[in-house]
Amino acid sequence: MTGRAATVCKDRGISLNYNAKQLMNFDVIEATILGTGEPTVTRHTEKKTKRKRNGECTVAIVTEPEDKM
Domain positions in the chain = 10-68
| Averaged pLDDT for residues 17-29 | 76
Task: Please name which of 40, 24, 22 lies closest in space to residue 32, comparing C-alpha atoms.
Answer: 40
Polymer length in residues for the chain: 69
Give the separation between CA 63 and CA 24, rounded to whole angstroms. Answer: 24
pLDDT band at 41 (very low <50, low <70, confident <90, very high): confident
Computed over every residue of the chain, the mean pLDDT equals 78
Look at 55 and 1; give whichever has higher pLDDT. 55
Q: State the pTM of this model.
A: 0.46
| pLDDT of residue 7 exceeding 60 | yes
Give the separation between CA 36 and CA 54, rounded to whole angstroms. Answer: 44
